[in-house]
Structure 1
């Protein structure tokens, strides 16, 4: 058995593979070490605890699912962005069954603060991205947003609908797109 892991990314890649094959509960220090072909101590060279590993894996999965598209025009059109996001949600659900609903359970019995913080950072990044798209979309009426109804509130609404769809495992953006059309165009 190797005693040196080539990289932190290799550990995260192995962890993602474990989730794909065996589900979220398969991620622990021993299973990841076995998957990497290294000793348990080698994993601890990169992660201080199971909670640290789990937090990094959560962040890694979120980043893989919602990586930037090759076509940057997705971020200039709100409807295209929503279609892309729902497509990525469907991809994530297929690649990581149960991940969206179950990964918080991976923190049970551990200090959840790091994983929760990483997840919230990923969510904030997505919210900020939605705000940017809404501000850059030339098709949106100039009076669509006001002081009482700013871009941030609409982005928060869109993000809430997205999270709700994740939990229901519904990846058809048709209703959200209709709401956008009626509200903004």
Structure 2
């Protein structure tokens, strides 16, 4: 048996699940960054044939898209874990810490992921990212509306709660993209605006 035959014989021929492939993708993104993610790297990491990866993902963009979504899911989780009665500013600080923790596990993810796509895939990746932030925005709005310490009659037709959460979220995303380590200035500004 020559070296090539031996290598091929050692490849894991057992069916690897899509979940296992995505776990390998997340490990690669965590260790080497999103730019290092490709079909061959994943096949090698899973110890499977390259064709096995193509069974689940028809292209590199499809693989990266699924990996990006899996990383976002890993960072945000599925359900809110915030205590009832949390103030709006406490919530924003908690979300920032949660996402910053994710950026430690997946360095440069916020700034790099949308650059690894072409054409329609880039737009789809952006939609996935904003989908996760939209769920944060919905939760932000609910928590803002439930925060009894907010100034009475603060919001109006020209300055609605929805407009305010949009403004806060835009600044919040900006801090993450700029890789700021703290959201203290944003929180201080929010306090001055919404609390007496």
Q: Is the structural similarity TM-score above 0.5?
A: yes
Unmatched 5+ stretches in structure 2 = 1-10
Report what 2:105 is aligned to: 95
Report what 1:78 is aligned to: 88
Report what 1:32 is aligned to: 42
Relative to structure 1, the CA distance from residue 75 to residue 67 in structure 2 (aligned partners, 3 Å threshold; closer, same or farther) is farther
Q: State the alpha-carbon separation in 2 of the partners of residues 102 and 183 from structure 1.
A: 33
Q: 1:42-61 CA deviation, whole Å, 9 max, x = no partner? A: 21222221111111111111
TM-score, length of structure 1 as denominator length:
0.89
Q: State the alpha-carbon separation in 2 of the partners of residues 71 and 26 from structure 1.
A: 33
What is the CA-CA distance between 1:130 and the residue it aligns to?
1.5
Report what 1:168 is aligned to: 178
Of 151, 155, 159, the residue aligned with 2:161 is 151
Relative to structure 1, the CA distance from residue 20 to residue 143 in structure 2 (aligned partners, 3 Å threshold; closer, same or farther) is same
Report what 2:27 is aligned to: 17
Relative to structure 1, the CA distance from residue 172 to residue 8 in structure 2 (aligned partners, 3 Å threshold; closer, same or farther) is same
Alignment check: 8 A CA contact 1:5 1:36 kept? no
Q: Look up the SS of the partner of 2:57 in the other structure.
A: coil
Q: State the alpha-carbon separation in 2 of the partners of residues 33 and 167 from structure 1.
A: 31
Q: Look up the SS of the partner of 1:45 in the other structure.
A: helix
Alignment check: 8 A CA contact 1:23 1:97 kept? yes
* Residue 120 (str. 1) matches residue 130 (str. 2): yes
Report what 2:191 is aligned to: 181
What is the CA-CA distance between 1:155 and the residue it aligns to?
0.9
CA RMSD of aligned residues (A): 2.2
Count residues in correspondence: 185
Relative to structure 1, the CA distance from residue 150 to residue 22 in structure 2 (aligned partners, 3 Å threshold; closer, same or farther) is same
Q: State the alpha-carbon separation in 1 of the partners of residues 55 and 81 from structure 2.
A: 38
Unmatched 5+ stretches in structure 1 = none
Report what 1:57 is aligned to: 67
Relative to structure 1, the CA distance from residue 136 to residue 23 in structure 2 (aligned partners, 3 Å threshold; closer, same or farther) is same
TM-score, length of structure 2 as denominator length:
0.84
Structure number with higher relative contact order (C-alpha < 8 Å, ≥ 6 residues apart): 1
Q: State the alpha-carbon separation in 1 of the partners of residues 192 and 40 from structure 2.
A: 52
